[in-house]
Amino acid sequence: MIRSCIATTLRNRAKTAIRFFVSIVFSPVAFFLAFCFSTVFPADSGIFGSEIRTLEGTYLRLRTDLPSSTEVDGLPAVFDAAVPLWCRFLGINPNRCDGWKMDGCLIGDFERFERAGLVREVPDLRTGFQLNRKLWVLEQASAYYRRHLLLHEGVHGLMAHVFHGLGPPWYAEGCAELLATHTLRDGKLEIGVIPGHRDEVPMWGRIKLIRDDIAAGKGRSLRDVLGLQPGEYDAPNAYAWSWALCVFLEGQPEFTGILGGMTNVLPPGRTTSECAETFNERFYDRIGRDVRSQWEAAWIDFAGRLDYGYDRERARIDDLSPGATRWNGRNHQWRVRPDRGWQNSGLRIQQGDAVRIAAAGRFRLGNRPATWWSEPNGITIRYDRGRPIGELQMTILPGPETSNANTAGDDYSRCPFLNPVSIGTHCEYTAPVGGTLFFRINDSPADLADNDGDVTVSLEKASGNTIPGS
């Protein structure tokens, strides 16, 4: 998440304007310039009609027919506050923005802008559109979504200006969505957020689109998102998946900065399918081809559990590496924390191994409105993904060498992280596939921050009947 203070931006702009005004207002040349500019560049009201007014910022000139309001009139300041944040994320020297300014139209009545000749270059405006240094946004019923679309098209404009290209669709739209999703509180702009509640982002709906796709059996793998084609962005679902992938990548310590770092391989101009393939190949090189299947599984765990308020730091899977120890029948013991997602045990078992797992411990789940105490069987006050919160769960992540189709990580119905085994206080189990054991305490990924304590988990050779893996 990246923050900026709009109030500071406005103060600095005001100081600069005052110094400039004092230096020239009394110059003899000022009167001559005023006459020339009033003749050559008449007021917008003369060009476009009195119903279209102009709002000026450092990086945005916005023409709109919407009535004056604090929200609408403050849009150039929001845009100006976002630009340095975009530069920081994309690794752009702010000096590259000197002299760069977008010409924007915020449109309430499309026909009015047509008559003024301001939408000639727009093919089919549904919500927003960008071309070179121009952008267009249709008025929205939500003040949040109006800002979101303006920032989204602004990201495209900045990338086109600095990099002369946007990259393949998933990258162009994913970065724009990531850097447009924001909060604005007390004049402070924060971008790159996962909204805490749907009421904070009316009309945005990205998380719901992903949930609906998964429920309909249309969940997208990492490979699917990288392969999204321009025509698929006629529907909002493609934007949602592109946003989610960029959020996922930025939430992984191994990939911190990877999105900004990929700007040095952006193909100039329009990205052809060949250029997109080359870009994606370089992307795969950077995330590591030898662990691609593990990252596919981690991505699907993220997308499959994505929710408002998702805690990226705590819910992420910190270690996807194959377990360093191969189980030889001896006893092993670990501690599992309730304030984290899946946790790597470091132990590998083989297909057919029969094990007994036992767990003990008392831990806290939340402290609002009251503290809930749980043991490894969980508590039935609340459920997450159909299981009690607080329940100890286990899964097996196959290594990259495993080719068994039944262990595929890029299928939501078979992803090991989305199909855990319920352990509770004890369970005897026969491994259906070899791989590394992972454990977690079941809870919503948005509710991990106030959990505390741990569970002691022990593993030994099974002595009786076991639950066969499926």
pLDDT band at 49 (very low <50, low <70, confident <90, very high): low
Q: Do 253 and 329 lie in a common domain?
A: no
Whether residue 6 has pLDDT greater than 70: no
Whether residue 284 has pLDDT greater than 90: no
If you average pLDDT over residues 105-123, what whole number do you get? 95
- Residue 162 falls within a domain, yes or no? yes
Query: What does the pLDDT read at residue 265?
Result: 75
Give, to the nearest 10 degrees, the angle between helix 292-305 and helix 236-250.
120
- Residue 408 falls within a domain, yes or no? yes
- Residue 1 falls within a domain, yes or no? yes
If you average pLDDT over residues 316-342, what whole number do you get? 94
Please state, in angstroms and rounded to a whole number, the distance separating the CA atoms of residues 328 and 400: 21
Per-residue model confidence as pLDDT tens digits over 26-37? 343 333 333 333
Q: Do 254 and 346 lie in a common domain?
A: no
Query: What does the pLDDT read at residue 459?
Result: 97
Query: What does the pLDDT read at residue 263?
Result: 80
- Residue 133 falls within a domain, yes or no? yes
- Residue 292 falls within a domain, yes or no? no
**Does residue 371 sit in helix, strand or coil?**
coil
pLDDT band at 402 (very low <50, low <70, confident <90, very high): low
pLDDT band at 258 (very low <50, low <70, confident <90, very high): confident
If you average pLDDT over residues 270-279, what whole number do you get? 73
Query: What does the pLDDT read at residue 271?
Result: 64
Q: Do 328 and 214 lie in a common domain?
A: no
Please state, in angstroms and rounded to a whole number, the distance separating the CA atoms of residues 387 and 421: 11
Return the ∠ at Cα 352 (arms to 350 and 355), rounded to 5°: 85
Give, to the nearest 10 degrees, the angle between helix 236-250 and helix 169-180.
80
If you average pLDDT over residues 339-365, what whole number do you get? 96
Return the ∠ at Cα 140 (arms to 134 and 84), rounded to 5°: 50
As a whole-number percent, the residues of the chain with pLDDT over 90 amount to 70
Query: What does the pLDDT read at residue 401?
Result: 61
Q: Do 45 and 172 lie in a common domain?
A: yes
Whether residue 24 has pLDDT greater than 80: no
> What is the torsional sign of CA 428, 430, 431, 432?
negative
- Domain at 402, CATH number: 2.60.120.430
pLDDT band at 405 (very low <50, low <70, confident <90, very high): very low
Average pLDDT, the chain: 87
How many structural domains are present in the chain?
2
39-43, 243-247, 310-314, 408-412: which has the minimum mean pLDDT?
Answer: 39-43
Q: Are 436 and 322 in contact (CB under 8 A)?
A: yes
pTM reported for the whole predicted model: 0.87
If you average pLDDT over residues 108-136, what whole number do you get? 94
Query: What does the pLDDT read at residue 234?
Result: 94
Q: Do 422 and 356 lie in a common domain?
A: yes
- Domain at 169, CATH number: 1.10.390
Q: Do 58 and 139 lie in a common domain?
A: yes
Evaluate the omega torsion of the peptide bond into residue 369 and state whether it is cis, within 30 degrees of 0: yes
Query: What does the pLDDT read at residue 410?
Result: 61
Compare 288 and 146 and report the one with higher pLDDT: 146
Q: Do 42 and 174 lie in a common domain?
A: yes
- Residue 298 falls within a domain, yes or no? no
Query: What does the pLDDT read at residue 465?
Result: 58
pLDDT band at 21 (very low <50, low <70, confident <90, very high): very low
Q: Do 75 and 209 lie in a common domain?
A: yes
Here the contacts of 66-71 (C-beta below 8 Å, separation 24 or greater) are 66/106, 66/108, 66/139, 71/143, 71/146
Per-residue model confidence as pLDDT tens digits over 144-191? 999 999 999 999 999 999 988 888 899 999 999 999 999 999 999 999
Query: What does the pLDDT read at residue 469?
Result: 57
Please state, in angstroms and rounded to a whole number, the distance separating the CA atoms of residues 193 and 153: 18
Domain around 195? 1-287
Q: Do 248 and 325 lie in a common domain?
A: no
As a whole-number percent, the residues of the chain with pLDDT over 70 amount to 85
Q: Do 326 and 422 lie in a common domain?
A: yes
Q: Do 243 and 366 lie in a common domain?
A: no
- Residue 423 falls within a domain, yes or no? yes
- Residue 304 falls within a domain, yes or no? no
Q: Do 354 and 450 lie in a common domain?
A: yes
16-20, 52-56, 149-153, 305-309: which has the minimum mean pLDDT?
Answer: 16-20
Q: Are 244 and 224 in contact (CB under 8 A)?
A: no
Query: What does the pLDDT read at residue 403?
Result: 44
Query: What does the pLDDT read at residue 368?
Result: 72
- The listed range with the strongest mean pLDDT (39-53, 159-173, 372-386, 390-404) is 372-386
